[in-house]
Protein backbone atom coordinates (compact mmCIF):
# COMPACT_ATOMS: atom_id res chain seq x y z
CA UNK A 1 0.00 0.00 0.00
CA UNK A 2 1.29 3.52 -0.86
CA UNK A 3 1.05 6.98 1.09
CA UNK A 4 1.72 5.78 0.87
CA UNK A 5 1.11 -18.26 -11.37
CA UNK A 6 0.61 -27.94 -14.93
CA UNK A 7 3.73 -27.23 -16.56
CA UNK A 8 3.13 -28.47 -20.13
CA UNK A 9 5.57 -30.84 -21.71
CA UNK A 10 6.10 -29.75 -25.26
CA UNK A 11 8.79 -31.64 -27.06
CA UNK A 12 8.35 -30.68 -30.69
CA UNK A 13 9.67 -27.56 -32.36
CA UNK A 14 8.07 -25.18 -34.82
CA UNK A 15 9.64 -24.27 -38.15
CA UNK A 16 8.38 -20.86 -39.10
CA UNK A 17 8.82 -18.72 -42.14
CA UNK A 18 9.86 -15.19 -41.46
CA UNK A 19 6.60 -13.97 -42.91
CA UNK A 20 4.83 -15.27 -39.83
CA UNK A 21 7.03 -13.23 -37.52
CA UNK A 22 7.07 -9.56 -36.72
CA UNK A 23 9.86 -8.72 -39.11
CA UNK A 24 10.63 -5.89 -41.42
CA UNK A 25 12.44 -8.21 -43.84
CA UNK A 26 10.69 -9.21 -47.02
CA UNK A 27 12.54 -12.48 -47.64
CA UNK A 28 9.80 -14.97 -46.90
CA UNK A 29 12.07 -17.90 -47.77
CA UNK A 30 14.26 -17.46 -44.73
CA UNK A 31 13.62 -20.21 -42.17
CA UNK A 32 13.62 -19.64 -38.45
CA UNK A 33 13.63 -22.42 -35.89
CA UNK A 34 11.78 -21.23 -32.83
CA UNK A 35 12.14 -23.65 -29.94
CA UNK A 36 9.28 -23.69 -27.45
CA UNK A 37 10.34 -22.69 -23.99
CA UNK A 38 11.00 -25.40 -21.47
CA UNK A 39 8.02 -24.62 -19.28
CA UNK A 40 5.36 -23.80 -21.85
CA UNK A 41 4.43 -24.09 -25.53
CA UNK A 42 4.79 -20.41 -26.38
CA UNK A 43 6.39 -19.67 -29.76
CA UNK A 44 6.71 -16.59 -31.92
CA UNK A 45 3.89 -17.86 -34.16
CA UNK A 46 1.34 -18.73 -31.47
CA UNK A 47 1.95 -15.99 -28.89
CA UNK A 48 -1.22 -14.05 -29.74
CA UNK A 49 -3.37 -17.11 -28.98
CA UNK A 50 -2.39 -16.83 -25.31
CA UNK A 51 -3.17 -13.13 -25.10
CA UNK A 52 -6.30 -11.22 -24.15
CA UNK A 53 -6.33 -9.50 -27.53
CA UNK A 54 -6.01 -11.91 -30.46
CA UNK A 55 -5.84 -8.84 -32.72
CA UNK A 56 -3.03 -7.14 -30.83
CA UNK A 57 -0.47 -5.22 -32.87
CA UNK A 58 2.73 -7.07 -33.74
CA UNK A 59 4.71 -4.93 -31.30
CA UNK A 60 2.26 -5.78 -28.51
CA UNK A 61 2.49 -9.50 -29.30
CA UNK A 62 6.28 -9.20 -29.29
CA UNK A 63 6.18 -7.49 -25.90
CA UNK A 64 4.07 -10.34 -24.48
CA UNK A 65 6.44 -12.95 -25.93
CA UNK A 66 9.58 -11.19 -24.80
CA UNK A 67 8.31 -10.50 -21.28
CA UNK A 68 7.47 -14.18 -20.94
CA UNK A 69 10.87 -15.25 -22.23
CA UNK A 70 12.74 -12.61 -20.20
CA UNK A 71 11.28 -13.94 -16.96
CA UNK A 72 13.15 -17.21 -17.43
CA UNK A 73 16.47 -15.48 -16.85
CA UNK A 74 15.93 -11.91 -15.64
CA UNK A 75 13.58 -9.51 -13.88
CA UNK A 76 13.31 -6.06 -15.44
CA UNK A 77 13.68 -3.19 -12.96
CA UNK A 78 11.28 -0.26 -13.17
CA UNK A 79 10.04 2.81 -11.38
CA UNK A 80 6.86 4.84 -11.37
CA UNK A 81 7.29 8.30 -12.89
CA UNK A 82 11.03 7.64 -13.24
CA UNK A 83 11.62 10.63 -15.52
CA UNK A 84 9.64 13.10 -13.42
CA UNK A 85 9.96 12.09 -9.77
CA UNK A 86 13.29 12.73 -8.13
CA UNK A 87 14.50 12.57 -4.57
CA UNK A 88 14.69 16.11 -3.26
CA UNK A 89 13.39 17.31 -6.64
CA UNK A 90 16.90 17.05 -8.07
CA UNK A 91 15.71 16.78 -11.70
CA UNK A 92 17.91 15.67 -14.56
CA UNK A 93 18.30 12.00 -15.42
CA UNK A 94 16.18 9.36 -13.68
CA UNK A 95 17.39 8.62 -10.17
CA UNK A 96 18.09 5.05 -11.30
CA UNK A 97 20.36 6.37 -14.05
CA UNK A 98 22.07 8.77 -11.65
CA UNK A 99 22.96 5.73 -9.55
CA UNK A 100 23.74 3.05 -12.14
CA UNK A 101 24.44 4.90 -15.39
CA UNK A 102 21.41 3.27 -17.03
CA UNK A 103 17.70 4.05 -17.19
CA UNK A 104 15.11 1.68 -15.74
CA UNK A 105 13.80 -1.18 -17.89
CA UNK A 106 10.21 -0.29 -16.99
CA UNK A 107 8.49 3.08 -16.76
CA UNK A 108 5.35 3.37 -14.66
CA UNK A 109 2.74 6.00 -15.55
CA UNK A 110 -0.80 6.78 -14.44
CA UNK A 111 -4.02 7.79 -16.19
CA UNK A 112 -5.09 9.76 -13.11
CA UNK A 113 -4.38 13.30 -14.33
CA UNK A 114 -5.15 12.37 -17.94
CA UNK A 115 -8.74 11.42 -17.05
CA UNK A 116 -9.21 14.15 -14.45
CA UNK A 117 -12.44 16.10 -14.81
CA UNK A 118 -10.41 19.31 -14.95
CA UNK A 119 -8.42 18.25 -18.03
CA UNK A 120 -9.94 20.47 -20.72
CA UNK A 121 -7.22 19.67 -23.29
CA UNK A 122 -6.18 23.31 -23.52
CA UNK A 123 -2.51 24.27 -23.66
CA UNK A 124 -2.63 26.36 -20.47
CA UNK A 125 -4.42 23.65 -18.43
CA UNK A 126 -2.23 21.99 -15.76
CA UNK A 127 -3.86 18.57 -16.16
CA UNK A 128 -3.46 18.67 -19.93
CA UNK A 129 0.17 19.66 -19.45
CA UNK A 130 0.57 16.56 -17.28
CA UNK A 131 -1.04 14.48 -20.05
CA UNK A 132 1.49 15.84 -22.55
CA UNK A 133 4.38 15.23 -20.18
CA UNK A 134 3.26 11.63 -19.47
CA UNK A 135 2.69 10.76 -23.13
CA UNK A 136 6.02 12.32 -24.07
CA UNK A 137 7.76 10.23 -21.41
CA UNK A 138 6.05 7.07 -22.71
CA UNK A 139 7.20 7.81 -26.27
CA UNK A 140 10.75 8.52 -25.13
CA UNK A 141 10.78 5.35 -23.03
CA UNK A 142 9.57 3.28 -25.98
CA UNK A 143 12.25 4.78 -28.22
CA UNK A 144 14.84 3.63 -25.66
CA UNK A 145 13.39 0.10 -25.57
CA UNK A 146 11.82 0.57 -22.14
CA UNK A 147 8.59 -1.23 -21.15
CA UNK A 148 5.62 1.05 -20.37
CA UNK A 149 3.01 0.26 -17.75
CA UNK A 150 0.01 2.33 -16.60
CA UNK A 151 -1.94 2.21 -13.36
CA UNK A 152 -5.10 4.24 -12.85
CA UNK A 153 -5.96 6.06 -9.67
CA UNK A 154 -9.47 6.71 -10.95
CA UNK A 155 -11.44 9.21 -8.93
CA UNK A 156 -14.86 8.18 -7.60
CA UNK A 157 -17.87 8.92 -9.84
CA UNK A 158 -19.84 11.23 -7.56
CA UNK A 159 -17.59 14.20 -6.94
CA UNK A 160 -14.80 12.98 -9.25
CA UNK A 161 -12.24 14.26 -6.78
CA UNK A 162 -10.64 11.40 -4.84
CA UNK A 163 -9.84 7.70 -5.18
CA UNK A 164 -9.44 7.19 -1.44
CA UNK A 165 -12.41 5.88 0.54
CA UNK A 166 -11.33 8.09 3.45
CA UNK A 167 -12.67 11.03 1.43
CA UNK A 168 -16.07 9.44 0.71
CA UNK A 169 -19.36 9.12 2.58
CA UNK A 170 -20.61 5.69 3.65
CA UNK A 171 -23.30 5.83 0.97
CA UNK A 172 -20.79 6.72 -1.73
CA UNK A 173 -18.50 3.89 -0.69
CA UNK A 174 -21.37 1.43 -0.74
CA UNK A 175 -22.62 2.38 -4.20
CA UNK A 176 -19.77 3.88 -6.24
CA UNK A 177 -18.34 0.71 -7.76
CA UNK A 178 -21.72 -0.85 -8.51
CA UNK A 179 -22.75 2.37 -10.23
CA UNK A 180 -20.14 2.11 -13.00
CA UNK A 181 -21.29 -1.33 -14.12
CA UNK A 182 -23.47 -1.65 -17.26
CA UNK A 183 -26.94 -0.42 -16.34
CA UNK A 184 -25.56 1.54 -13.39
CA UNK A 185 -26.16 5.25 -12.85
CA UNK A 186 -22.53 6.09 -13.59
CA UNK A 187 -21.78 3.67 -16.42
CA UNK A 188 -21.88 6.47 -18.99
CA UNK A 189 -19.50 8.49 -16.81
CA UNK A 190 -17.14 5.51 -16.72
CA UNK A 191 -17.36 5.00 -20.48
CA UNK A 192 -16.32 8.61 -21.01
CA UNK A 193 -13.28 8.02 -18.82
CA UNK A 194 -12.47 4.92 -20.90
CA UNK A 195 -12.99 6.95 -24.07
CA UNK A 196 -10.24 9.27 -22.89
CA UNK A 197 -7.94 6.34 -22.06
CA UNK A 198 -8.65 4.85 -25.50
CA UNK A 199 -7.95 8.14 -27.24
CA UNK A 200 -4.62 8.61 -25.49
CA UNK A 201 -3.44 5.00 -25.93
CA UNK A 202 -4.47 5.05 -29.62
CA UNK A 203 -2.29 8.11 -30.15
CA UNK A 204 0.85 6.73 -28.51
CA UNK A 205 2.98 6.19 -31.60
CA UNK A 206 6.62 5.46 -32.32
CA UNK A 207 8.91 7.02 -34.88
CA UNK A 208 7.45 4.94 -37.73
CA UNK A 209 3.84 5.57 -36.79
CA UNK A 210 3.45 2.22 -35.03
CA UNK A 211 1.32 2.04 -31.89
CA UNK A 212 3.30 1.86 -28.66
CA UNK A 213 2.31 -1.12 -26.49
CA UNK A 214 1.45 -0.50 -22.86
CA UNK A 215 0.60 -2.65 -19.87
CA UNK A 216 -2.65 -1.45 -18.25
CA UNK A 217 -3.39 -2.30 -14.62
CA UNK A 218 -6.91 -1.19 -13.71
CA UNK A 219 -8.47 -1.45 -10.24
CA UNK A 220 -5.23 -2.46 -8.51
CA UNK A 221 -4.86 -3.35 -4.82
CA UNK A 222 -8.54 -4.29 -4.81
CA UNK A 223 -8.17 -6.60 -1.80
CA UNK A 224 -7.58 -3.59 0.42
CA UNK A 225 -10.14 -1.05 1.57
CA UNK A 226 -8.32 2.19 0.78
CA UNK A 227 -9.64 2.53 -2.82
CA UNK A 228 -13.32 2.77 -3.73
CA UNK A 229 -12.96 -0.40 -5.86
CA UNK A 230 -11.75 -2.30 -2.79
CA UNK A 231 -13.19 -5.64 -1.69
CA UNK A 232 -15.25 -4.05 1.08
CA UNK A 233 -17.25 -2.08 -1.48
CA UNK A 234 -18.10 -4.63 -4.20
CA UNK A 235 -18.74 -8.34 -4.51
CA UNK A 236 -16.29 -10.62 -6.31
CA UNK A 237 -18.77 -10.90 -9.18
CA UNK A 238 -19.12 -7.14 -9.45
CA UNK A 239 -15.35 -6.70 -9.51
CA UNK A 240 -14.97 -9.32 -12.25
CA UNK A 241 -17.73 -7.71 -14.31
CA UNK A 242 -16.17 -4.27 -14.06
CA UNK A 243 -12.75 -5.57 -15.07
CA UNK A 244 -14.26 -7.56 -17.97
CA UNK A 245 -16.30 -4.56 -19.07
CA UNK A 246 -13.17 -2.40 -19.05
CA UNK A 247 -11.24 -4.83 -21.26
CA UNK A 248 -14.16 -5.50 -23.63
CA UNK A 249 -14.92 -1.81 -24.01
CA UNK A 250 -11.34 -0.82 -24.84
CA UNK A 251 -10.63 -3.85 -27.06
CA UNK A 252 -13.96 -4.38 -28.82
CA UNK A 253 -15.90 -1.13 -28.63
CA UNK A 254 -13.00 1.29 -28.99
CA UNK A 255 -10.74 -0.99 -31.07
CA UNK A 256 -7.62 -0.46 -28.97
CA UNK A 257 -5.11 -3.23 -29.74
CA UNK A 258 -1.87 -2.10 -28.09
CA UNK A 259 -2.62 -3.07 -24.48
CA UNK A 260 -1.55 -5.95 -22.26
CA UNK A 261 -3.88 -6.26 -19.27
CA UNK A 262 -2.54 -6.75 -15.74
CA UNK A 263 -4.36 -8.03 -12.65
CA UNK A 264 -2.83 -7.01 -9.33
CA UNK A 265 -4.17 -7.37 -5.82
CA UNK A 266 -2.16 -6.26 -2.85
CA UNK A 267 -0.34 -8.87 -0.77
CA UNK A 268 -3.20 -10.18 1.40
CA UNK A 269 -3.39 -13.67 -0.18
CA UNK A 270 -1.39 -16.76 0.79
CA UNK A 271 -3.03 -19.35 -1.51
CA UNK A 272 -3.82 -19.57 -5.21
CA UNK A 273 -7.54 -19.83 -4.36
CA UNK A 274 -7.43 -16.57 -2.45
CA UNK A 275 -5.40 -14.89 -5.19
CA UNK A 276 -7.97 -15.94 -7.83
CA UNK A 277 -11.04 -15.00 -5.78
CA UNK A 278 -11.66 -11.91 -7.91
CA UNK A 279 -9.78 -13.00 -11.02
CA UNK A 280 -11.78 -12.04 -14.14
CA UNK A 281 -10.51 -15.05 -16.10
CA UNK A 282 -7.62 -15.99 -18.37
CA UNK A 283 -9.38 -14.42 -21.36
CA UNK A 284 -9.07 -11.05 -19.65
CA UNK A 285 -5.61 -11.10 -18.09
CA UNK A 286 -2.14 -11.13 -19.65
CA UNK A 287 -0.09 -10.29 -16.60
CA UNK A 288 -0.49 -11.92 -13.20
CA UNK A 289 0.68 -9.32 -10.75
CA UNK A 290 0.91 -8.36 -7.13
CA UNK A 291 1.61 -5.14 -5.29
CA UNK A 292 3.57 -5.77 -2.11
CA UNK A 293 4.98 -3.21 0.25
CA UNK A 294 3.97 -4.76 3.57
CA UNK A 295 6.11 -7.89 3.48
CA UNK A 296 9.19 -5.77 2.84
CA UNK A 297 8.52 -3.27 5.61
CA UNK A 298 11.12 -4.05 8.26
CA UNK A 299 10.32 -7.78 8.29
CA UNK A 300 13.80 -8.87 7.23
CA UNK A 301 14.33 -12.27 5.63
CA UNK A 302 11.02 -13.51 7.09
CA UNK A 303 9.15 -10.87 5.09
CA UNK A 304 11.24 -11.57 2.01
CA UNK A 305 10.35 -15.27 2.24
CA UNK A 306 6.66 -14.38 2.65
CA UNK A 307 6.84 -12.30 -0.50
CA UNK A 308 8.68 -15.08 -2.34
CA UNK A 309 5.99 -17.63 -1.45
CA UNK A 310 3.31 -15.29 -2.81
CA UNK A 311 5.32 -14.57 -5.95
CA UNK A 312 5.70 -18.34 -6.42
CA UNK A 313 1.90 -18.62 -6.56
CA UNK A 314 1.93 -16.05 -9.37
CA UNK A 315 4.87 -17.66 -11.14
CA UNK A 316 3.37 -21.16 -10.97
CA UNK A 317 0.06 -19.91 -12.36
CA UNK A 318 1.82 -17.98 -15.10
CA UNK A 319 3.78 -21.09 -16.09
CA UNK A 320 0.62 -23.21 -16.15
CA UNK A 321 -1.50 -20.73 -18.09
CA UNK A 322 1.17 -19.09 -20.29
CA UNK A 323 0.80 -15.75 -18.60
CA UNK A 324 3.40 -13.28 -17.35
CA UNK A 325 4.12 -12.87 -13.64
CA UNK A 326 5.22 -9.54 -12.21
CA UNK A 327 5.77 -7.70 -8.95
CA UNK A 328 3.73 -4.75 -10.18
CA UNK A 329 4.53 -2.44 -7.25
CA UNK A 330 6.85 -2.61 -4.31
CA UNK A 331 9.40 -0.66 -2.37
CA UNK A 332 10.67 0.50 0.97
CA UNK A 333 10.46 4.25 1.39
CA UNK A 334 13.44 5.93 2.97
CA UNK A 335 12.94 9.29 4.68
CA UNK A 336 14.69 11.33 7.35
CA UNK A 337 12.81 9.36 9.99
CA UNK A 338 12.68 5.99 8.15
CA UNK A 339 16.29 4.91 7.54
CA UNK A 340 17.42 2.58 4.79
CA UNK A 341 17.52 -1.16 5.55
CA UNK A 342 20.92 -2.77 5.05
CA UNK A 343 21.04 -4.91 1.88
CA UNK A 344 17.29 -4.43 1.24
CA UNK A 345 17.75 -4.52 -2.54
CA UNK A 346 20.67 -6.89 -3.00
CA UNK A 347 19.57 -9.50 -0.45
CA UNK A 348 15.96 -9.19 0.73
CA UNK A 349 14.28 -8.11 -2.52
CA UNK A 350 16.57 -10.13 -4.79
CA UNK A 351 15.97 -13.35 -2.87
CA UNK A 352 12.20 -12.74 -2.94
CA UNK A 353 12.39 -12.39 -6.72
CA UNK A 354 14.64 -15.39 -7.37
CA UNK A 355 14.27 -18.14 -4.74
CA UNK A 356 12.33 -21.34 -5.45
CA UNK A 357 12.81 -21.22 -9.22
CA UNK A 358 10.25 -18.46 -9.76
CA UNK A 359 9.97 -16.43 -12.97
CA UNK A 360 9.08 -12.78 -12.42
CA UNK A 361 9.24 -10.61 -15.54
CA UNK A 362 9.49 -7.21 -13.88
CA UNK A 363 9.45 -5.37 -10.60
CA UNK A 364 8.38 -1.75 -10.24
CA UNK A 365 9.26 0.62 -7.42
CA UNK A 366 7.05 3.57 -6.55
CA UNK A 367 8.13 7.13 -7.21
CA UNK A 368 10.62 9.31 -5.45
CA UNK A 369 9.74 12.78 -4.22
CA UNK A 370 10.99 15.71 -2.22
CA UNK A 371 10.77 14.04 1.16
CA UNK A 372 11.67 10.43 0.46
CA UNK A 373 12.71 7.80 -2.05
CA UNK A 374 12.13 4.18 -3.03
CA UNK A 375 15.17 4.07 -5.32
CA UNK A 376 18.47 5.67 -4.22
CA UNK A 377 19.79 8.30 -6.59
CA UNK A 378 23.53 7.83 -6.13
CA UNK A 379 24.16 10.18 -3.23
CA UNK A 380 22.45 8.43 -0.30
CA UNK A 381 23.44 5.72 2.16
CA UNK A 382 22.04 2.69 0.26
CA UNK A 383 23.33 3.73 -3.16
CA UNK A 384 25.80 0.83 -3.34
CA UNK A 385 23.12 -1.68 -2.28
CA UNK A 386 20.91 -0.74 -5.22
CA UNK A 387 23.78 -0.72 -7.67
CA UNK A 388 24.87 -4.16 -6.47
CA UNK A 389 21.28 -5.40 -6.92
CA UNK A 390 21.07 -3.92 -10.43
CA UNK A 391 24.25 -5.76 -11.46
CA UNK A 392 23.15 -9.19 -10.23
CA UNK A 393 22.70 -12.00 -12.76
CA UNK A 394 18.90 -11.93 -12.74
CA UNK A 395 18.47 -8.15 -12.67
CA UNK A 396 17.91 -6.04 -15.79
CA UNK A 397 17.98 -2.34 -16.44
CA UNK A 398 17.28 -1.09 -19.96
CA UNK A 399 20.80 -1.95 -21.16
CA UNK A 400 20.17 -5.64 -20.38
CA UNK A 401 16.85 -5.93 -22.20
CA UNK A 402 16.44 -7.67 -25.54
CA UNK A 403 14.49 -5.78 -28.21
CA UNK A 404 11.18 -6.03 -26.41
CA UNK A 405 9.04 -4.84 -29.34
CA UNK A 406 10.47 -7.21 -31.97
CA UNK A 407 10.15 -10.96 -32.23
CA UNK A 408 13.57 -12.63 -31.98
CA UNK A 409 15.07 -13.37 -35.39
- Mean pLDDT across 127-131: 98
Q: What would the mean pLDDT of 213-229 be, rounded to a whole number?
A: 98
DSSP code of residue 344: I
Mean of pLDDT values over 363-372: 97
Question: Does the pTM of the predicted model rise above 0.75?
Answer: yes
> Distance between CA atoms of 327 and 341, rounded to whole angstroms?
20
The domains of the chain are located at: 45-400
Q: Is the pLDDT of residue 10 over 70?
A: no
pLDDT at 2: 53
Active site residue 406: no
What pLDDT sits at residue 37?
56
In 90-185, DSSP assigns E strands to 106-110, 147-151
Confirm if 137 and 94 have CB atoms less than 8 A apart: no
**What is the pLDDT of the chain when averaged over all its residues?**
92
Query: What is the structure's pLDDT at 38?
Result: 58
Q: How many CB atoms lie within 10 A of CB 341?
A: 19
Looking at residue 36, its pLDDT comes to 56
Catalytic pick from 59, 131, 221, 406? 221
Burial (Cβ within 10 Å: 0-12, 13-18, ≥19) of residue 324: buried
pLDDT (average), residues 365-391: 97
d(CA 103, CA 120): 32
Query: Of the residues 59, 131, 156, 329, which is catalytic?
Result: 329
Query: Which has the closest alpha carbon to 110: 162, 82, 149?
Result: 149
Q: Fold for domain 45-400?
A: TIM Barrel (3.20.20)
Residue 292: the pLDDT is 98
> Is 329 assigned a catalytic role?
yes
pLDDT digits (tens, 9 = 90+) for 43-80: 999 999 999 999 999 999 999 999 999 999 999 999 99
What is the rounded average pLDDT of the residues 40-44? Answer: 89
Give pLDDT tens digits for 288-301: 999 999 999 999 99
Alpha helix segments (H runs only) across 258-382: 272-275, 300-321, 350-354
Amino acid sequence: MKTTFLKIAFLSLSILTLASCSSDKEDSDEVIIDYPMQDDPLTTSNAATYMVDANATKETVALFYNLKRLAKTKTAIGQQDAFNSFYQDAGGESDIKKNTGFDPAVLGSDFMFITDKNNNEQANNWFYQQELKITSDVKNAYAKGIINTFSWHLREPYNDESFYTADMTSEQKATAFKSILPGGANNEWYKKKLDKVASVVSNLKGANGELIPIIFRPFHEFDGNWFWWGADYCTADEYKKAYQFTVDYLKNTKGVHNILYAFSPDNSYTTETAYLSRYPGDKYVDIIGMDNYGDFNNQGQTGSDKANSKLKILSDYAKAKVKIAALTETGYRVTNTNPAITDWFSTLLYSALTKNDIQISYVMFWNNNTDGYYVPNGSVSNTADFKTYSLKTKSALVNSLPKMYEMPK
